[in-house]
Structure 1
Amino acid sequence: NSRTRMESKERSKQGVREMKEDEDVALPGAKMSKKEKGRYKKLRKRLETVLTHQKVSGFVDDDDCKEWTALSLQLNAANSTGNNPPAAVPQFRWRKGSPEGRRTEGSHHRDILFSLMLPESVLLQDGQSSDGNGASQSGGGKKRSRQDSSNDGALRYKGLPTWLCLHNPSSISSCGVVEVHVANTQLMSLLKRKIVEEVSSSGRSVLVTPTRWFSGNQAKGVTDALLFASPPKSNSKSKEKQTTKKTNLEDLVIEMKSMVLSRDELVKANYPVTNVDGEEMVKDATGWVSSQEQPESRKSVEPSCKIWALDCEMVETTEGRALARFTLLEAIRYDTEREVVEEQVVLDTLVKPDHRVTDYLTIYSGVTAALLEQGPCMTVHQIQNFIAAKVGANDILVGHSLENDLQVCRWFHPTCVDTAIVFSHKNRSFKYSLRHLSRILLKRSIQEPNKPHCSEEDAKAALDLAVSRAIKGPGFGPKDMRSSNQWLALSQNDDSDNNSVVAVGPNAWLQRYITNPPNAAHALSCDSCTDTNTRALTSFLSCSNKRKPRLVWAQVHASNEKEVDTCENILKQLISTISTTDTALLIALQCQYDHVVGELKRRRTLQDPKTTMSWTNEEEERLKSSIDESQLGVAIWVGGKKTVQ
């Protein structure tokens, strides 16, 4: 009996608690079924509770937002108390266990932006995700939370970095990105403080993250960090893993034959070639040499195919470019354990030009008048005799932009492997430099700034690149961030009811990043933060839902305190005007980038051999310091009004 009385008392208490909960959500008088009331309370709890131990919480699926809207309208119709249900607002928080204020990467913020704005079909197809260190994540192990398992919409947000907790992401229908480039770190700190004060006073959630926009010495702007991404990795087995293991030099030769340029490719790349009948296709073929099927020095042995690597240094003469140094390497053995070839220098010599030298191009060639005077030197004719005796027409000749070397040697050779073409960019018409390929693929530094090139070093680098490609397959190559410009994907979202996007910024920036190739984006030129077109930024993001663009991207520049104050006023107006329920705002701050771009242009001009002025070591040190400053900036995510955690 005692136990029965206790259970009855507990049921009474439970009934009182349920009545209080009903009063808290203002349900009295609402014409809702018991099931709808239960669903309403469940959705409201999910809407208001931020689960910082998860990447996403709250309303993750679009269906949740639609159901909440329908229940809220039903409640409002019958509710006479005037207490409207809370709206679903987005929030950006540090994830539990992640230290607040930690440094983040520009690619992390790109992943957040893409997760919010790109079509779900694209995100699920790409399957790209990154953790706080940029490492790939699978989106969860065997144990999954109840909310994760019930919300298939969470799949689209698996690309979010692990330091972020994004609350109510499905409520976001539009996004604003404002890049602010300032002159120095002091102005950047001042602007950051004022922005945070404004956001905090408005009651919105704000996430301030120190951010590294790029790594290394290759300066990049915020746009490069946020807009460009590597192509998605294929789930199928890579071709390089399917290649057969090479056991000797003959196996390597067979594989490298597939990399040899066809006749059409030789013609397109301006190689010196002969026509079908054996006639030379150059203006004046006098003094040229062609590789023979069986060279003189190899007539007594069995025919075989060899691998050679060539690099030449040149000078300017009264008759154009001329050969000044000739280096030829031969691959003599293949090391199966290290998967590299061993080579030997067959010939490395200075060459005396036939005509008067007008520029020795010493900064690149390392050749001086004194070196050519001291010797020993060979003539071009002697080099040609050596070539004819050593190199056969079926031998593979490896080099980087090899057409230039063959031109100055006056040499026709039909079997060429050009690393500039083998590793050329697939989507854009440019070639990677040998220095760049060597640095990122071989982890080797060549052609150091302010130092002359070494033809032996360059020939070996080209040979090692070609051999590695033959061994590892087509997957061995540069992974360039610019290989996939995501602006087209952002501006052509077929999954959204609203496809309009707007870009506001300097004309040069629009032409480089936004309008080329042509797309459906609305582009407004604004070369100064005082330009009246900056008002469009606020106008677009504060207009009604039917007219509001999905994405508004702006770039503004502030070189002094007065312009910083102008940018501050623009951002204050923007923060106070945009919707608190369906709009996310990213403010990206970077300093010194404009200065770095100008100095890089000036350095290229002063390093031209024809320029009388020079680029000093002091200027190089100052440039490096400016690049370091431009590397580190701030990313500020602004969400809606804060809710209970």
Structure 2
Amino acid sequence: MASTTRAEATDDSSPTLGKKDKKKLKKLRNRVLKVQNEGERSGILTPKEWEEYRKLEDPDLTRDVGPSIRIRKRKEGINVEGAQHRDLLAWLLKQILFPEKNEAPVSKKRKREENQKETIHTVTLPPWVSIHNPGSISSITALEIHLPLSASLKLDRVESFLESSGGKGNICSTKIRTKWFQGHTPRSISDSLLYFNSKHNKKSKPENISKSIAEIVAELEGMLIQPLELEKEGYPGRVKGSKAHEYSSWTPTEKIDMATISLEDATALVEKIGFRIEEQEQDDDQLYISTDTTESSSQSDQSPRVFGMDCEMVRTSTGSELARITIVQFQSFQDGIMTTTTIMDELVKPDKAVLDYLTRHSGMTPKVLEPVTTRLSQIQVALLCFLRPNDILVGHSLENDLKATRLVHARVIDTALLFRASNKRTKFSLKHLAAYLLQKKIQAGSHCSEEDASMALELAIRRAWFGESFQVPSGDDRRSLFEGLSSARIMCAGPADWLHSHITSNANGTHALGYEGIAECKKAVLAWQSSQRKTDFIYSQWNLQNENDEKSLKELEDAVIEVIEKMSSTSILLISLQQNHHCAKKLLKQKRICKSHRATAGWSTEQEESLLDAVDDSRNGTVYWIGSATTEPSRDER
């Protein structure tokens, strides 16, 4: 950013001005220079005021003055969602293109009317933002930077440059920790910054709906996974010719009492009626049991019960083994509140030695499992004695829980499938579904099987109650940030596949320049920044993919610093950083291939852990908002 030493700001600096203009200049100058971060805006608020100030002020004094993005007082140290940066970006674009929209306060009624139009002009500033001199903004540049895991999210040399430049008084840099996405499906910075979700009626009004328990169950039966899809999604199925049908001499009990099931009897029973399934590994000697073993004519007339189920697993030599199981039973849904009863919540001692407790996800530790004596066979018998073939089991990615319990049950609802995106490829995490549809925060630390079982059950019950409108908008429903910006001059530079996915696939007037390398992207950004024809918005994606490549990292940092140095004092620069996204995306693609019904190779626990680690790495990032470090004048300058 070009820098000039500030001259003394006195009324004498403009001797040709009349008394009235001098008075006006003094007021404008005080507003320009006095930064206030208690509210959302301070300084010069409109382009009209900015032009007035520039005409009256000495040109040497306006050269360093411009806009800045700061964190409001008492909001320091916050961690924000990526969508809030998108809202701020959209607000700034609105300020450039439609300044009159920001000049006057908007009534609640008018704001509601504008929101219904679903345009870029309806965004509001995030609650942590304080913008100084928004009326001076002439252009915005955004750099989306993807880094390998080995590179620091701070970009140390860039941060040192910003600190030294801030000390000289010509650059204001605001650094914010950012979460780019929720759940376990990796999303890029572009997904957060370049799209809005279309408005959906997530919930119908409860007072307009009345359903009995029987009607809810009937709706749930319409959500059951069909046999062919059960097989496609990897659910365990009974092998024809197995011994499972040979034993049917008991009637299911009304409750589960683990104390009455001895390990010796349970082991003998499972050995008698258990069976192997085709996809079992050779060294996996744990037998499966099936609920249709207990089917009899006396049960067919009984109403189906509805249960939520979730398990926590640990890793042993044979793969995943059960460590905790929770089952909750649906009781009622009234006034928007679901009531349940916990039927089972048991810790289970794995049969094989534990290699990894997966504590971060399971909550299991050696101390937790050390006193446990209950074994898988006892859990199997308890389930066999309690579950009826017509009962409905609800869970999230329930095939994993059924495999862990070595249980075959035909009537299941999988919320990962029920709420998947319209493209049928994207599955949302339970955490994301709970946050978006139920406004509940779960899995803040490790997972809790009781909490997860209840959340999955509530999602299914609410879907049965409210219908298909109870759903998360998918990527197909997204609106591009560029919608409504046909009058803007926009340039986007980056890899061809990124341009196709996020820029050129949407109808807009954006200038799209395909460059794979950072050096070429930098040249394009600098050329458009300095163009005589004003560019409103520049967006560029830069990728540093090689691990431990110090030379490439230095070139990246040099390029970022050069963009900062050459930006106009009236422009805003957004730098967004994300680690390990490409690795997470690659592993997810491999998982989908392995999970395909045509796949010959399986997806291991180690691969799943690598994917989860990569997703965690890419979820959190850093954002810098860079502008002019306008400071309040000293007493001598007043």
2:190 corresponding residue in structure 1: 223
- Alignment partner of 1:114 is 2:108: no
1:488 aligns to 2:482 (yes or no): yes
Match of 2:132 in 1: 167
Structure 2 vs 1, CA of residues 85 and 563 (structure 1 numbering), >3 Å: closer, same or farther?
A: closer
* Cα distance in 1 for residues equivalent to 2:143 and 2:400: 42
Deviation at 1:614, TM superposition (A): 4.2
Give the whole-Å Cα distance in 1 for the aligned partners of 2:618 and 2:567.
29
By how many angstroms is 1:45 displaced?
1.1
- Runs of 5+ consecutive residues of structure 2 not aligned to the other structure: 1-7, 110-119, 224-228, 230-276, 280-289, 306-329, 342-385, 392-398, 443-451, 634-638
Indicate conservation of the 8 Å contact 2:180/2:621, yes or no: yes
Q: Aligned-pair distance for 1:325?
A: 9.6
State yes or no: 1:28 paired with 2:15. yes
Decide whether the 8 Å contact of 2:180 with 2:619 is kept in 1.
yes
Aligned to 1:569: 558
Equivalent-residue separation in structure 2 for 1:432 and 1:522 (angstroms): 30
Match of 1:537 in 2: 525
1: distance between equivalents of 2:21 and 2:122?
Answer: 28
Aligned pairs (5 A) from 1:104-503: 104-118=80-94, 159-189=124-154, 190-197=156-163, 199-200=165-166, 203-232=170-199, 239-246=204-211, 248-249=212-213, 330=303, 335=332, 337=334, 347=389, 429-430=423-424, 440=434, 467-472=461-466, 476-479=470-473, 483-489=477-483, 492-493=484-485, 499-503=488-492
Alignment pair present for 1:50 and 2:35:
yes
**Residue 183 of structure 2 contacts residue 432 of structure 2 at CA under 8 Å; is this kept in 1?**
no
1:541/1:552 contact within 8 Å kept: no
8 Å contact from structure 2 (residues 291, 387) kept in 1: no
| Aligned partner letter, 1:65 | W
Shift of 1:536: 0.6
Matches within 5 A, 1:486-565: 486-489=480-483, 492-493=484-485, 499-530=488-519, 532-544=520-532, 546-559=533-546, 560-565=549-554
Aligned to 1:621: 609
Q: Is the 8 A contact 2:64 2:630 kept in 1?
A: no
Distance 2:471 2:563 in 1: 44
TM-score under structure 1 normalisation?
0.57
CA contact (8 A) 1:199 1:638 kept: no
Distance 1:67 1:598, change over 3 A: same
The offset of 1:640, in angstroms, is 1.9
Q: 1:53 to 1:592 in 2, by over 3 A?
A: same
Shifted more, 589-598 versus 325-334: the winner is 325-334
User: Which of the residues 616, 620, 627 maps onto 1:639?
Assistant: 627
The equivalent residue for 1:93 is: 70
Cα deviation, 1:489-548, whole Å, max 9, x if unaligned, reads 2xx425xxx512111111111111111134221111122224x3541111111222x342
Residues 455-505 of structure 1: per-residue CA shift (max 9 Å, x gap) = xx99x999975652353466532255774233332xx425xxx51211111
Equivalent of 2:578, from 584, 590, 611?
590
What is the rounded CA distance, in whole Å, between the counterparts of 2:416 and 2:147 in structure 1? 40
Partner of 1:408: none
CA contact (8 A) 1:339 1:471 kept: no
Q: Note the alpha carbon deviations across 1:279-320, whole angstroms, 9 max, x for none.
A: xxxxxxxxxxxxxxxxxxxxxxxxxxxxxxxxxxx999xxxx
Q: Matched residue of 1:476: which SS?
A: coil
The gaps in structure 1 that reach 5 residues or longer are 1-20, 77-81, 130-137, 140-154, 262-269, 271-313, 317-323, 350-361, 378-382, 384-397, 402-417, 446-456
**Aligned amino acid, residue 75 of structure 2:** S
What is the TM-score of this pair, normalised by structure 2? 0.58
Counterpart-to-counterpart distance in 2, 1:241 and 1:124: 36
> Per the alignment, do residues 632 and 181 of structure 1 end up closer, same or farther by CA in structure 2, a change over 3 Å counting?
same
Q: Deviations over 1:196-218 (max 9, x none)?
A: 25754682111122323233333
**1:435-465, Cα deviation, whole Å (9 max, x unpaired):** 86995458899xxxxxxxxxxx99x999975
Q: Quick one: higher RCO (CA 8 Å, sep 6+), 1 or 2?
A: 2
Task: From the superposition, tell whether residues 438 and 118 of structure 1 become closer, same or farther in structure 2 (CA, over 3 Å).
Answer: closer
- The alignment partner of 1:188 has SS state of coil
SS of match in other structure, 2:518: coil
| Structure 2 residue matching 1:488: 3-state secondary structure | coil
- Residue identity in the other structure for 1:58: G
1:66 paired to 2:51: yes
The answer for the alignment partner of 2:367 in structure 1 is none
Higher mean C-alpha deviation, range 57-66 or range 184-193 = 184-193
Determine the structure 2 residue equivalent to 1:151.
none
Alpha carbons of structure 1 residues 444 and 613: separation in structure 2 relative to 1, 3 Å? farther
Take 1:623 and 1:436, find their aligned partners in 2: how far apart are those partners?
17
Cα distance change, pair 183–194 in 1 and its aligned pair in 2 (3 A): farther
In structure 1, C-alpha distance between the alignment counterparts of 2:192 and 2:493, rounded to whole Å: 18
Q: CA deviation at 1:607?
A: 4.5
Q: Deviations over 1:240-278 (max 9, x none)?
A: 2441444x3577699x69x999xxxxxxxx9xxxxxxxx
CA contact (8 A) 2:40 2:130 kept: yes
SS of alignment partner, residue 70 of structure 2: strand
What is residue 599 of structure 1 aligned with on the other side?
A: 587
**Are the aligned partners of 2:148 and 2:580 in contact in 1 as well (CA < 8 Å)?**
yes
- The structural deviation recorded for 1:54 is 1.4
Q: CA deviation at 1:564?
A: 1.3
Identity %: 23
Output the CA distance in 2 between the equivalents of 1:122 and 1:437: 39
Q: Is the 8 A contact 2:86 2:192 kept in 1?
A: yes
Aligned residues: 453
RMSD, aligned α-carbons: 5.2
| 3-state DSSP of counterpart to 2:517 | coil
Q: How many Å separate the matches in 2 of 1:187 and 1:462? A: 37
* Distance change (3 Å), C-alpha of 1:608 and 1:364: farther
Task: State how far apart, in whole Å, the 2-side matches of 1:477 and 1:431 are.
Answer: 15
